[in-house]
Amino acid sequence: MPNKKSKVAFHADSIYDIDPSFYRELGVKTIVIDLDNTLDPADVLEPSSRAKKLIQEYLDLGFQVFILSNNTEKRCGDYCRSLNVPYLSFSFKYLDFRIKRFLRKKGVKVEDCIFIGDQIYTDRLYVNQLHGRLVLTEPLSEKDNLVTKIPRFFDRRVREGWRRKGRMGMECPKRKTEEEETCSSSEQKPAA
């Protein structure tokens, strides 16, 4: 677990790097994911094949998956319906009331969730207000929409300071690559 001086519980380069067994070890039942620049870049209108694969993997492992975004209903709705997962658009992450209501309606307790996002000034803020656990990822793309550009400027500087001071929380265990999986399974085969 992260130390008391950590500003976030966990961090990872990307949601795609995290070993999903880590969530199970934490007792997570629900994975709540930010959309833009966490699951896919903000300019990707339909789920990428890797996003589809990841969401399906989580569902197959028995996790409940929700997507939260400050973006519009059109952006979130089309994207999330194609993944067949519940979502909350216009989530007003600066204030936690819509997110609390959404989770309550879904019958989900904050302590059963892990929240994954790429922004300090939105994702970290609402997760802290909820008293939840956040995995802070790096943004998938340098491209941001106009509303995100200014906070992102400050976000980069804050992250640099937290890294220098060791306050980024625990690094999430990385999933094995296909090559590593192949190597470890061939090492485990008994000699004939």
Is 189 part of any domain? no
Residue 88 contacts residue 99 (beta carbons within 8 Å) = yes
Model pLDDT for residues 40-63, shown as the tens digit of each residue: 998 888 999 999 999 999 999 999
pLDDT number for residue 1: 47
Is 5 part of any domain? no
pLDDT number for residue 143: 75
Q: Two tokens at 171?
A: 């690094």
Give the contacts of 35 (CB within 8 A, at least 6 positions apart).
Answer: 67, 68, 69, 71, 75, 76, 79, 80, 87
Beta bridge partners of 171: 11
pLDDT number for residue 108: 95
**How many domains does the chain divide into?**
1
Residue numbers of the chain with a pLDDT score lower than 50: 1-3, 192
Is 83 part of any domain? yes
Is 131 part of any domain? yes
pLDDT number for residue 6: 59
Is 15 part of any domain? yes
Is 127 part of any domain? yes
Beta bridge partners of 66: 32
Model pLDDT for residues 73-95, shown as the tens digit of each residue: 998 999 999 999 999 998 888 77
Nearest to 5 by CA among 164, 173, 174, 172: 164
pLDDT number for residue 3: 46
Is 3 part of any domain? no
How far is C-alpha 140 from the chain's CA centre? 11
Give CA–CA dist 80/33, Å, rounded. Answer: 11
Is 16 part of any domain? yes
The model's pTM is 0.85
The CATH number given to whatever domain includes residue 110 is 3.40.50.1000
- Structural domain including 159 reads 10-181
Question: Mean pLDDT for the chain?
Answer: 85
